[in-house]
Amino acid sequence: MKKFEIPDKYKSSIIAGIKNSRKLEDPRKQNFEPTILDFGDLQFYIARHFGFCYGVENAIEIAYKTIEENPGKRIFLLSEMIHNPGVNQDLLNRGVRFLMDTRENMLIKWSELTKDDIVIIPAFGITIELQNKLKEIGIDAYRYNTTCPFVEKVWNRAASLGKDDHTIIIHGKLYHEETRATYSHSKQNGASLIVRDLEETKLLAKIIGGELPKEKFYDLFAGKYSEGFDVDKNLNKIGVVNQTTMLATETQEIADYLKNTMKNKFGESKINNHFADTRDTLCYATYDNQNATYGLLNKNADLAIVVGGYNSSNTSHLVELLEPKFKTYFISDANKIISDKLISHFDIHSKTELQTENFLPVKEKINIALTSGASCPDSVVDDVLKKLLSFFKNVDMSVINGK
């Protein structure tokens, strides 16, 4: 796999050593058990796989090279390049400006742009509509394009489905930049529909099976289907793709549920005429990060800490996986650990930041499960680990020295 050039500030000392040793021991990633770092009074279970993925490193390399190679030029990002506040802030500090926020609300008027400006496309991709808008100004949207190759793989699969007269079912979050981009591209090639989760999928299945009147479709999925969508015509032949940062198991569950729905309607012998197998579009990094999180669940930790941007979809799903077993704290960086008695953390359900006192249990030895999202630099995880270690007197630092 390609090795990317990313700024030193995002690299780590501790985490890099752990990752390198695991790669040597398990190059094919067949073992998803966590790495154990035992410092004495404090022990960490470090997820087998986490942090920057291929798509994020690719985006960071392109963005920083663009800045370096274009001194004096005005450089814009379509919106957040990745969902990490530290990386985005550093780009802003270097003079890059955001054209819009993550919901496509304009921060800078289109009329302010000229054909000589540089616009970097984020890792989530760009909609056809925005691509055409830039083209009207004279800006090539693909000149400085950091779209993740695995997102583009989903677009290509959706295109092939559409050309084969399948309706494209997109498992994703309606307002997420990646889902908007995928939907924009897929509807150019075929009827398209976004479903958020299994519950919405079950409603769709009832419409396909005739348990709900077809007219209900247009209310239940308002704003989520392509123009001219015809329930009688467009729900007879389908395929499922996803926003690559969704739970891989949920995408597969949705696909399996719809496949069974089509079997019940058309018969098992005809299923290949009505349902396409699309499991090959699942992102490897999302899949690995989530499997590594299941590995953490095999351990008896006192708490879990997940590090990443609060608007990061893939990171929030790691929190979802850990919460049923562990008291889980979702933090953006080490500064959120205010002291050994107080932590500020994000609640994915209320979408608010909370403060919890006495988050570290009072016991002889504390065990913490630790992981991060795909857009979180390893250096930030290093900082979190060191901050936690600083609260303990009896720790053996030789565990990480020399790694």
Give the model's pLDDT for residue 91.
Answer: 95
Give the model's pLDDT for residue 399.
Answer: 72
Least confident of 97-101, 221-225, 250-254, 395-399: 395-399
Report the C-alpha gap between 115 and 97 in whole angstroms.
16
pLDDT bucket at 1, cuts 50 / 70 / 90: low
Give the model's pLDDT for residue 325.
Answer: 98
Question: Tokens at residue 107, please?
Answer: 């921060």
pLDDT bucket at 226, cuts 50 / 70 / 90: very high
Task: State mean pLDDT over 352-377.
Answer: 96
Report the C-alpha gap between 353 and 294 in whole angstroms.
25
- CB proximity list for 15: less than 8 A, separation 6 or greater: 46, 51, 378, 379, 381, 382, 385
Confidence check: pLDDT of 402 > 50: no
Q: 54-69 and 85-93 helices cross at what angle (nearest 10)?
A: 10
H/E run at residue 138 = none
Task: State mean pLDDT over 29-45.
Answer: 95
> DSSP 3-state helix, strand, coil percentages of the chain (rounded to 5)?
40, 15, 40
Report the C-alpha gap between 368 and 155 in whole angstroms.
39
User: In the chain, what's the furthest Cα-to-Cα distance?
Assistant: 69
- CB proximity list for 9: less than 8 A, separation 6 or greater: 90, 377, 379
Q: Calculate what percentage of the chain has a pLDDT beyond 70.
A: 98
Q: Catalytic site residue 178?
A: yes
Beta bridge partners of 38: 43
Give the model's pLDDT for residue 248.
Answer: 86
Confidence check: pLDDT of 372 > 60: yes
The domain limits of the chain are 8-53+285-399, 54-137, 165-282
Q: Are 224 and 194 in contact (CB under 8 A)?
A: yes
Give the model's pLDDT for residue 380.
Answer: 97
Fold of 8-53+285-399: Cobalt-precorrin-4 Transmethylase; domain 1 (3.40.1010)
Confidence check: pLDDT of 155 > 90: yes
Length of the chain counted residue by residue: 403
Three-state DSSP at 342 gives: strand
- The reply to whether 54-137 shares the fold of 8-53+285-399 is no
| pLDDT tens track for 253-311 | 999 999 999 999 999 999 999 999 887 676 888 889 999 999 999 999 999 999 999 99
Task: State mean pLDDT over 60-78.
Answer: 96
What are the distances in angstroms from CA 311 to CA 157, 175, 346? 27, 12, 10
Give the model's pLDDT for residue 403.
Answer: 45
Task: State mean pLDDT over 29-50.
Answer: 95
pLDDT bucket at 400, cuts 50 / 70 / 90: confident
Give the model's pLDDT for residue 286.
Answer: 85
Report the C-alpha gap between 15 and 48 in whole angstroms.
11
Task: State mean pLDDT over 357-386.
Answer: 96
| pLDDT tens track for 93-104 | 999 999 999 888
**CATH class belonging to 54-137:** alpha beta
- CB proximity list for 100: less than 8 A, separation 6 or greater: 78, 79, 106, 107, 108
Least confident of 36-50, 116-130, 204-218, 269-283: 269-283
Of 57, 80, 177, 178, the catalytic one is: 178
Give the model's pLDDT for residue 99.
Answer: 96
Task: State mean pLDDT over 35-63.
Answer: 95
What's the start-to-end Cα distance of the chain, in Å? 23
Which value, to the nearest 10 degrees, does the dihedral of the CA atoms of residues 303, 13, 34, 256 take?
90
SS (H, E, C) 92-118: HHCCCEECECCCCCECCCHHHCCCCCE
Three-state DSSP at 239 gives: strand
Report the C-alpha gap between 374 and 91 in whole angstroms.
18
Which value, to the nearest 10 degrees, does the dihedral of the CA atoms of residues 361, 13, 296, 246 take?
120
- CB proximity list for 87: less than 8 A, separation 6 or greater: 10, 60, 81, 375, 377
Report the C-alpha gap between 178 and 304 in whole angstroms.
28
pLDDT bucket at 121, cuts 50 / 70 / 90: very high
Q: Which of 123, 121, 116 is nearest to 131 (CA)?
A: 121
Sign of the CA dihedral with 101 first, then 103, 108, and 113 last: positive
Report the C-alpha gap between 298 and 323 in whole angstroms.
13
| pLDDT tens track for 166-182 | 999 999 999 999 999 99
Beta bridge partners of 77: 98, 120
Task: State mean pLDDT over 344-367.
Answer: 97
